[in-house]
Amino acid sequence: MPPLVVWLALIASVTAAATWVARQYALRGNLMDQPGDRRSHHVATPRGGGIAIVLVVLVVGCYLMSRDLSGRALWIGFLPGLLIVAGIGWWDDHRPLSPWLRLVVQAVAALMLAAGAGWQSGHWLPALLAFGAAMVLVNVWNFMDGINGLATTQAGLAAVAYAGLLAGEWRWLALALLAGCLGFLPFNFPKARIFLGDVGSGALGFMLAGLVTAASIAVPPGSVPLLMLPLSIFLVDAGFTLLRRILRREPWWTPHVTHLYQIAARRLGHGPVTLAYAASSGVTLSLMLVWPRSTWGQSVSVAVTVYLVVSFVWFASRRGLRE
């Protein structure tokens, strides 16, 4: 295995080259996101650039699976699941599909990851976590991919967090995801020359679900609740916004601009909001990595406290921006 810096630089460079190719493809094929009332951008922008991250992670994952002789069950669930989540997203980028069809395909991928987790661990709890994480994170990353750099930076930071917990081939996969995000980011932040598209946002969520699952098998059971800390910023914003839309009887599955990050971006600009979310996630992931090994009850208490604080900040920020 090459040294860490070489590994990161190689994957980031390949991803950047693939993103450039994806941009040319999108421009020639007129795969463009047009501005509108339900968008946070103001100029037509190519989409589908996340295919570069997907392809790189798939290739790296196949290589790592060949080296991980004792852990192939989880790989067998993860890699095909990633392929079909990215595939339905790529199709949707070309020809918009029913959200319910996409949800069914995502459920199949989640079941594949869950089967791999159950097979690998020999227990049903990792399988349940895998299914839930895949279904939630695929859609949360799709919901939260609305301003420049936000979904990519959050995925990269979460990858750093899980790389700090994992060992062996799954650690290298987390680092590959980080490098892929770094290679894509110059095309998307601070100015967006291409968007992730559904192929990228959904796939990032599934990759993180795979890392959460692998970490849940690797860490002591008492530390499992802490795995949710690096995801808290996105889960709170997406969760409360979704709940609000459901209670208001709005079509929650359609595009909109009512997430906190979208409201803040209209007031402050994309760059400051993306950096603020990154700083907040940096705090939560650091807490996960430095918190000592503890009992299940202590970990749950820490996780609940963090989510309560993040929720308070969410409500306070939303009220402040509204005023």
Q: Where are the domains of the chain?
A: 4-322
Residue 297: pLDDT band by 50, 70, 90 thresholds? confident
Nearest to 56 by CA among 7, 102, 23: 7
Of the CA atoms within 13 Å of residue 320, those in its CB half-sphere come to: 11
Nearest to 81 by CA among 50, 127, 120, 112: 112
So what's the pLDDT on residue 133?
Answer: 96
So what's the pLDDT on residue 36?
Answer: 60
Q: How far is CA 52 from CA 45, 163, 193, 196, in A?
A: 17, 21, 14, 9
So what's the pLDDT on residue 2?
Answer: 59
Provide mean pLDDT across the span 181-205: 94
So what's the pLDDT on residue 239?
Answer: 94
**pLDDT above 60 for 106:** yes
Provide mean pLDDT across the span 49-65: 96
So what's the pLDDT on residue 212?
Answer: 97
Output the six-digit token pair for 228.
């949710």
So what's the pLDDT on residue 192?
Answer: 87
Q: What is the pLDDT of residues 140-157, one digit of tens each?
A: 999 998 889 999 999 999
The residue ranges of DSSP E strands in 26-157, in sequence order, are: 32-33, 45-46
So what's the pLDDT on residue 249?
Answer: 85
Handedness of CA 93, 98, 102, 108 (dihedral sign): negative
So what's the pLDDT on residue 14?
Answer: 96
So what's the pLDDT on residue 39?
Answer: 61
Q: What is the pLDDT of residues 59-91, one digit of tens each?
A: 999 999 998 877 789 999 999 999 999 999 999
Q: At what angle do helices 260-268 and 296-322 cross, to 10 degrees?
A: 40
Output the six-digit token pair for 199.
């192929």
Residue 132: pLDDT band by 50, 70, 90 thresholds? very high
